[in-house]
Amino acid sequence: MNTPAEKDLINRFKLEFDSHTYRRIEAKEPQCFTLTGVAAGIMALLHGEGTVEERVGTYASEESHCICCQETSCKFQVELL
């Protein structure tokens, strides 16, 4: 199986952005905490080995760019732990 050690995922949907702007808070740091976890989970499901339970926590994700910080998209860097 091809298991990437690191992968960048880009989100252009404004899912968490809408919630953030609704509260009228100006973000200085990325705010899409749910999508950060989703990105790591997707990679574990697609590229992990073993049962679903064994794949939990095998990838970590960090949001480096965020629409909430006036960026054009959110970018998540996902890496194999």
Max CA pair span of the chain:
45
| Cα dihedral 9, 15, 16, 21 in deg (nearest 10) | 130
CB of 4 to Zn ion, least distance (A): 22
CB of 50 to Zn ion, least distance (A): 30
Which of 14/55 has CB closer to Zn ion? Answer: 14
The phi, psi pair for 5, rounded to 5°, reads -80, -25
CB of 45 to Zn ion, least distance (A): 21
Contact positions toward Zn ion, by CB under 5 A?
32, 66, 74
Q: Which helix (H) or strand (E) holds 79?
A: strand 74-80
Which of 43/74 has CB closer to Zn ion? Answer: 74
